[in-house]
Structure 1
Amino acid sequence: MDQSYNVNEAAKVVGVTPSTIKKYYLMFEKDGYKFRRTTQGQLSFTINDVVLFKNLIQMKNEPGVVVSKAVKQLLKEKGIHNPIDIEAYFKPLITELREGVLEHKLLLEKQQKKLNMIEQQNKLILQLITKEQRNNHKPAVDNKDHKPVVSLKEKELNLSITLK
């Protein structure tokens, strides 16, 4: 297992006070770096973390370099970006996704309107079919005396035949 250091041990190895290590680790975490913690929630620094602190001290001792800029530079070198930078990176993608979702929503609304219209047409067609079926299934006999019902056209046809 890798060697781990608590705050006091890391401060001793780096050559600073425990409060300085606490100040530095908070600055790193603010900019997106995550340090390990024990199951009890105590900080546990790796040898790489200790080296990171040493590099920070070297860098901040250069003329014109402040600790916050040194932290950002070290994290950039390690490939760790500030969460704000990640948000800026993903913002155009999120915007594009939102626009796509809006387009799909509008298409779905149009399709739903068309579907509703088709359903109304289908109901009307079913009503017409049902009505036509009822008309075609009238009984062939008169209910009163059970005699065949002869249409007016049939009577006219018979009359014209007899007249000829």
Structure 2
Amino acid sequence: MIGMEVFHKVDEVAKVLGVTPSVVKKYYLMFEEQNYKFKRSNQGRLMFSEKDIDLFNKLIELKNEPGMKVYNAVEQLIKENKNDVSNVYQLVSNAMAEITDLKNLIRQQQKIINNQQEKLKIIEDKYGTLTKMVMEQEKRNSQTLVISDQELESSIKEVKEVIGYQLEELEGKLKHSFKKS
């Protein structure tokens, strides 16, 4: 599986390194005396990673150099490992600072979004109010037109009646004038 770290038992590490299991035990005990921690199973058995095996290989190379003792080689590797850890801490620290910056940026963007949503709500409310006012005005205009139409019809009816009376009157006068003649 990708990303799955493989761990080895003491016997397997001894075989890879070409040493006896007791030599592997001697090495890991010396590292543990310097507060180096190896992984252990739930049952408490030691489990060595590929990184641990590389560490043992470096130890074997160092101790084989002229004038180098195993203990001194372990101390040197622990110091190098601490430097590696220090670099990792620096990387983690930098990453945490970037995460903090990103969180702040997200907060700022969230404030902007909230502000825009509030403005949008105000605009929507104003639009709703304006729409309601337009509808009410249209209703009033419609009512006014109905009233105006009724008044116009009434006026036309009155005018027709007046014209009708005047026509009757005129007819009567015309008839009367024809009778005289």
What TM-score, normalized to structure 1? Answer: 0.54
CA contact (8 A) 1:7 1:43 kept: yes
1:149 maps to 151
C-alpha spacing 1:114/1:29, structure 2 compared with 1 (3 Å) = farther
Secondary structure in structure 2 of the residue aligned to 1:17? helix
Matches within 5 A, 1:30-49: 43=48, 45=50, 48=54
Matches within 5 A, 1:114-125: 114-125=119-130
> Are 1:18 and 2:18 counterparts?
no
CA contact (8 A) 2:14 2:24 kept: yes
User: Higher helix fraction: Structure 1 or Structure 2?
Assistant: 2
Unaligned stretches of 5+ residues in structure 2: 1-7, 40-46, 156-181
**Whole-Å Cα distance in 2 between the matches of residues 49 and 75 of structure 1?**
13
Cα-Cα RMSD: 4.3
Q: What is the number of residues matched between the two proteins?
A: 129
**Whole-Å Cα distance in 1 between the matches of residues 14 and 74 of structure 2?**
24
What TM-score, normalized to structure 2? Answer: 0.50
Matches within 5 A, 1:14-163: 17-23=23-29, 24=31, 27=36, 43=48, 45=50, 48=54, 50-55=56-61, 57=63, 58=68, 61-62=71-72, 67=75, 70-73=77-80, 76=83, 83-138=88-143, 140-141=145-146, 148-150=150-152
CA contact (8 A) 2:13 2:24 kept: yes
Moved over 6 A (4+): none
